[in-house]
């Protein structure tokens, strides 16, 4: 069942470069309401747990290192058709392929440091949200 919610992270590269405000503005202007937000720093181990689905991939070690390099902003966002529309808003995983007007086109530096994460399904949105937030922290 569609929940109209998605999970997002502003990644360490974008947070460190001061793009949190700009990214949140793009998210709000696209019609999303913030249901939960926190700044948190992942350990290498926690980053590995979050991205466990990629553990056999060649880039897993780099992914853990990049995602634990500094603070991130964890977000639960709400809007109709949240998951699919957010994937469009952030653009292609590799910013070289991201369309004009997308968050990654504007703020991502590379495939590894691609500014934001967005859930790829309603099921993963719920799982990823509960990785960072208890039910009482989501309004």
The residue ranges that bind ligand CMP (CB under 6 A) are 54, 59, 63, 93, 111-112, 114, 117
> Measured from the CB of residue 136, what is the shortest distance to ligand CMP in angstroms?
26
Instruction: Please say which residue, 4 or 93, places its beta carbon nearer to ligand CMP.
Output: 93
- 54 as an active site residue: the answer is no
What is the total residue count of the chain? 139
Residue among 38 and 54 whose Cβ is closer to ligand CMP = 54
DSSP 32: P
Q: Three-state DSSP class for 76?
A: strand
CB-based contacts of 102: which residues, under 8 Å, 6+ apart?
88, 89, 90, 91, 92
| Least distance between ligand CMP and beta carbon 105 (Å) | 15
Neighbouring C-beta atoms of residue 20, cutoff 10 Å: 18
CB of 36 to ligand CMP, least distance (A): 18
Q: Which is nearer to ligand CMP, 78 or 112 (CB)?
A: 112
Other beta carbons within 10 angstroms of residue 21's beta carbon come to: 8
Q: Which residue out of 117, 118, 125, 132 is catalytically annotated?
A: 117
Q: How far apart are CA 26 and CA 117, in angstroms?
A: 14
Task: Supply the residues annotated as catalytic.
Answer: 117
């Amino acid at each position: 069942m569609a929940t109209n919610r998605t999970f997002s992270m502003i990644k360490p590269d974008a947070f460190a470069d001061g793009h949190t405000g700009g990214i949140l503005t793009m998210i709000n202007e696209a019609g999303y309401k913030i249901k939960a937000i926190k700044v948190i720093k992942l350990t290498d181990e926690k980053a590995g747990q979050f991205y466990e689905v990629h553990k056999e991939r060649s880039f897993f070690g780099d992914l853990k290192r990049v995602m634990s390099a500094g603070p991130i902003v964890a977000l639960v966002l709400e809007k109709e058709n949240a998951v699919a529309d957010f994937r469009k808003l952030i653009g292609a995983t590799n910013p070289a392929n991201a369309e004009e007007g997308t968050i990654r086109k504007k703020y991502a530096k590379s495939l590894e440091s691609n500014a934001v994460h967005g859930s790829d399904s309603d099921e993963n949105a719920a799982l990823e949200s509960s990785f960072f937030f208890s039910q009482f922290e989501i309004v």
